C-alpha cells in the first residue's frame, strides 16, 4: 500500500510538472515573439526614419556584395 501511494504521489507530481512546464514554455515563447516584434519595429524606425536614402542604398549594396562574394570562398 505504501508503494502504491508513493507511485500515486509521483504520478501526480509528474503531471503537475508537465502542466507547469507547458505554461512556462508558453510564457517564454510569448516573450520571445514580443521581443522579436519590438526589435523589428525599432529596426524599421531606424532604417526608414533615421538613415538617409544614400545610407540605405549603401547598406543594400553592402548586403548584396556580401551575398555575392560569400559563395566564392
Q: pLDDT per residue over 9-68, tens digit each? A: 999 999 988 888 878 888 999 999 999 999 999 999 998 899 899 998 998 999 999 888
Q: Where in the chain are the domains?
A: 2-70
Query: HSE (CB half, 13 Å, CA atoms) of 48?
Result: 6
Q: Which pLDDT value is given to residue 39? A: 97
Amino acid at each position: 500500500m505504501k508503494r502504491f501511494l508513493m507511485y500515486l504521489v509521483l504520478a501526480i507530481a509528474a503531471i503537475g510538472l508537465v502542466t507547469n512546464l507547458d505554461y512556462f514554455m508558453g510564457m517564454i515563447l510569448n516573450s520571445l515573439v514580443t521581443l522579436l516584434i519590438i526589435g523589428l519595429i525599432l529596426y524599421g524606425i531606424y532604417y526608414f526614419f533615421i538613415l538617409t536614402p544614400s545610407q540605405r542604398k549603401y547598406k543594400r549594396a553592402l548586403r548584396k556584395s556580401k551575398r555575392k562574394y560569400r559563395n566564392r570562398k
